[in-house]
Amino acid sequence: MHLNQDTFPVTKDRGMYPDSLESPRFLLQKRGVMQMTEFIPACFLIVVLFLATTTDILRQKIPNLLTFSAMGMALFYFSFLKGVSGFIFSFEGIVVGIAVMLLPYMMGGMGAGDAKLMGAVGGLLGAKGVFVAFLLTALIGGIYAMIVLAIHGCLRETLRRYWLILKTFFLVRKIIYIPVSEREKTPRLKYGVAIALGTMISVLMKNNIYGMLNLN
């Protein structure tokens, strides 16, 4: 069958490809731009997590300069890239990242720096991405905490305290926090390590995890 230009009209930008189709070259360029827009935040995220983990291990503190700078850079980057929708994407991630860490922070399970670090992660991954990162962080952090507490002989006491909090909640429908004993304060948890591991796993296994949770 003979095809003439009337069948597939020649356009200035796409040659023999009609408006309803995209040329292979255009698709490759588009894919390259998409990969670059994801690659830059990923690299920045790795740097932030590395610095946060290092300072948490060495100084037992995650500095505000790092977390707030990361949040600001995330907001600026996505706003520059996508305008208002990009700002909303990043801002929602920051809010969700901090919100999911508020309860553990209020219960004494982690420091304020950890909550702000998760907010910075949210600024770079968005609300959906930081929620998945939080789920993996909670899993890794829980295992890590039990190992540390068991090594220091505080695991049974800690489990008993949380069981009493849960039992009281079911009886009176109110959370009554039981303070941490001096013995439980002895092991210092570096929760920034758990956040870094959980976040990186969520990024590297994004497609598989999103598929399992029906988040695609």
9 belongs to a structural domain: no
Sign of the alpha-carbon dihedral angle for 146, 107, 126, 135: positive
The pLDDT value recorded for residue 183 is 60
63 belongs to a structural domain: yes
Q: Based on the structure, what is the number of domains in the chain?
A: 1
The pLDDT value recorded for residue 152 is 73
Please write down the HEC assignment for all residues of 55-97: HHHHHCCCCHHHHHHHHHHHHHHHHHHHCHHHHHHHHHHHHHH
Residues 6+ apart with CB under 8 A from 194: 137, 140, 141, 144
What does the alpha-carbon distance between residue 2 and residue 7 come to, in Å, rounded to a whole number?
10
89 belongs to a structural domain: yes
Looking at the DSSP bridge assignments, the partners of residue 135 are: none
What does the alpha-carbon distance between residue 4 and residue 178 come to, in Å, rounded to a whole number?
80
Helix (H, G, I), strand (E, B) or coil at 11: strand
Amino acid at 1: M
Which residue range forms the structural domain that includes residue 53?
Answer: 24-152+187-212
CA-based R_g, the chain, Å: 23
0.75 surpassed by pTM = no
Place of tokens 């920034």: 192
Residues 6+ apart with CB under 8 A from 161: 178, 180, 181, 184
Provide the token pair at 193: 């390590």
17 belongs to a structural domain: no
42 belongs to a structural domain: yes
The pLDDT value recorded for residue 45 is 94
Instruction: Please provide residue 209's backbone torsions phi and psi, each rounded to the nearest 5 degrees.
Output: -70, -45
122 belongs to a structural domain: yes
The answer to whether residues 138 and 198 touch, using CB atoms and an 8 Å cutoff, is yes
The pLDDT value recorded for residue 76 is 95
The pLDDT value recorded for residue 28 is 43
The 8-class DSSP code of residue 181 comes to P
169 belongs to a structural domain: no
80 belongs to a structural domain: yes
In order along its 216 residues, the chain shows pLDDT tens digits of 454 545 434 444 444 444 444 554 544 454 544 466 778 888 999 999 999 999 999 988 899 999 999 999 999 999 999 999 999 999 999 999 999 998 888 776 688 899 999 999 999 999 999 999 999 999 998 888 888 878 877 777 777 877 887 878 788 877 776 666 666 555 667 889 999 999 999 998 887 777 777 776
